[in-house]
Chain A
Amino acid sequence: MRTRLAWVWLGLMLALPAAAADYVALPGGTFTSVLPADGKVAAAQVAPFRLRTEPVTNAEFQAFVKTHPQWRRDQVAKILADERYLSHWADAGTLGDAALPEQPVTRISWFAAQAYCESEQARLPSWYEWEYAAAADATRRDARADPAWRESILGWYSRPSSKALPDIGGAPNAYGVRDLNNLVWEWVDDFNALMVASDSREQGDPDLLKFCGAGAISLQEKENYAVLMRIAMLSALKAADTTNNMGFRCAKPE
């Protein structure tokens, strides 16, 4: 019986070459983020979760807009995606030469990324989940203390953004997740939560009461500016914005 089921399963797997995306389980735990949870020093708590091993590709997003035409670039509401949304595709439903099937999809708004993940019964990862997963290198779950880890990220930052993106399929990190630090920038669910700072209540000027909260966020691990740059990038974006190098991947609960 068990063998028979296994055969059925194998048959299904073979019959569905474009099978569902791969997710791997990450254990989570206490994590020293560059962004303290309380804005001061508290470590982040990351619950166990699953993360997509690869960013979403052009081919995958093309299949999505086919079944969700409200996310085609010629139909999407402007408030949910800016005018550059998927503008490198040949047309609203065709990839073309500037968007190869296995390249990560970019020029994607946060709203579009969220909608895609929902179609995979998933969600965008939180910043802490993303940072936690990306702290690993090929062999260690937290390689951040190693200058080589930082160098490789900074090396990627210096890559000209006009160059064509490589395909997905980079080397897996210690969790089995690929292409976190060196392929595209990636949306996170709470991208607009990262730099809610500059608390100014004590200054006594009501004009400055733009933010309310229990104190300004002080960034920790200042030597870790490679990661801080990513936070700065995410914080500068609005939810409808798209950029040449901004893609995404999805996450699921445990």
Chain B
Amino acid sequence: MKRLLFLFAMFLLLGSARAATPLPGDSVYNLPLQLTDQDGRQQTLAERRGRPQLVTMFYTSCQMVCPMIIDSLRLTRNALDPATRAQIDLLAVSFDPAKDDVATLKSYAQKRKLDPRIWTLARAEPTQVRQLSGVLGLQYRQLPDGEFNHSSELILLDADGRIAARTTRIGKLDPEFVEAIRKVVAQPRG
């Protein structure tokens, strides 16, 4: 019991030390980026530090693969055991800040039944969207008709914002990706 208490104290200490640790150089949180979510809340990307994230980019008017991207995120999360699931957040950032304003993101979230405690749908200013695609290694291109060509991937960030895994498998589960999430969540902190 004493030992447990000791471990617990160590854990707390490490936990608080961790918050003050400078960001690793390969963290995407080095990018100063302002997000606005489906409820109009502002948050910097770096404020998501502390919990692993599943990140993707999409846009709401996309009729083709984007609904499947959202489905794949849901599918991936559902494949995790409840304890692991409780420790990750989902973030989907729009390629299309011109059309995807807060109200549009909100109604999309409601239509797709995306629980706001779990899902963050976000927009950023156009320059910043391109920067985010840069750190995440995603490509996109707007077409004259307003549609986008874009890469469709799910990306796992560890608690410090390092890219820990990615999958291009959309529409069905990628077991290796699920395993990578388990590992990152199980990682000893600090």
Q: Which residues of A contact B (CB under 8 A)?
A: 37-39, 42, 77-80, 110-111, 114, 123, 189-190, 192-197, 199, 201, 206-207, 209-214, 217, 238-240
- Interface mask (B138-149 → A, CB under 8 Å = 1, otherwise 0): 111111110111
Residue of B nearest to A235 (CB): B139
Bound CA span A207–B168, Å: 7
Q: Is B135 an interface residue (CB 8 A)?
A: yes
Question: Contact between B135 and A79 (Cβ–Cβ < 8 Å)?
Answer: yes
Contacting B152 at CB < 8 Å: which of A111, A195, A210, A214?
A210
Determine the chain A residues whose CB is within 8 A of the CB of B152 once the complex forms: 209-212
**Cβ-defined partner of B134 (8 Å) among A110, A195, A212:** A110
Q: How large is the interface on B (under 10, 10 to 19, 20 to 34, 35 or more residues)?
A: 35 or more
Distance in Å: Cβ of A70 to nearest Cβ of chain B: 9
- How many angstroms from the CA of A77 to the CA of B142 in the assembled complex? 29
In contact, B168 and A210 (Cβ under 8 angstroms): yes
Assess whether A238 is in contact with B170, with CB atoms less than 8 Å apart. no
**Complex interface: chain B residues within 8 A of A211 (CB):** 139, 149-152
Contact check, B171 vs A206: say whether CB atoms are below 8 A apart.
yes
Whether B131 pairs with A111 at a CB distance below 8 angstroms is yes
Contact partner of A212 among B62, B131, B135, CB < 8 A? B62
- A214's contact among B68, B127, B143, B170, by CB below 8 Å, is which? B143
From A217, which residue of chain B is reached at the shortest CB distance? B149
Residues of B contacting A206 with CB < 8 Å?
A: 68, 169-172
Distance between B32 CB and nearest chain A CB, rounded to angstroms: 10
- Any A CB within 8 A of the CB of B30: yes
B131 touches A114 (CB 8 A): yes
B61 at the interface (CB under 8 A from A): no
29 contacts between A and B (CB under 8 A): A37-B144, A38-B143, A77-B25, A77-B26, A77-B27, A78-B26, A79-B25, A79-B30, A80-B135, A111-B31, A111-B131, A192-B138, A193-B140, A193-B142, A195-B139, A196-B141, A197-B149, A207-B168, A209-B152, A210-B168, A210-B170, A211-B139, A211-B151, A212-B66, A213-B141, A213-B149, A214-B147, A214-B149, A239-B131
Q: Tell me whether B79 is interfacial, beta carbon within 8 Å.
A: no
Instruction: Name which residue of chain B comes closest to A205, CB basis.
Output: B171
Given the interface pairs A212-B65, A239-B135, the reply to whether A79 lies near B26 with Cβ below 8 Å is yes
Chain B residues within CB distance 8 Å of chain A: 23, 25-28, 30-31, 62, 64-66, 68, 127, 130-131, 133-135, 137-145, 147-153, 168-172
B145 contacts which chain A residues (CB < 8 A)?
A: 38, 214
Q: Are B30 and A80 in contact (CB under 8 A)?
A: yes
* Bound-complex Cα distance A193 to B133 (A): 10
Add 8 more A-B contacts to A192-B133, A196-B150 (CB < 8 A): A38-B144, A193-B142, A194-B141, A206-B68, A210-B151, A212-B148, A213-B64, A213-B147
Roughly how many angstroms separate A192 CA and B131 CA in the complex, as a whole number?
10
Residues of B within 8 A of A196 (CB): 139-141, 149-151
A192: chain B residues within 8 A (beta carbon): 130, 133-134, 138-140
In the complex, which residues of chain B have a beta carbon less than 8 angstroms from the beta carbon of A240?
Answer: 134-135
Q: Chain A: which residue is nearest B149 at the CB level? A: A213
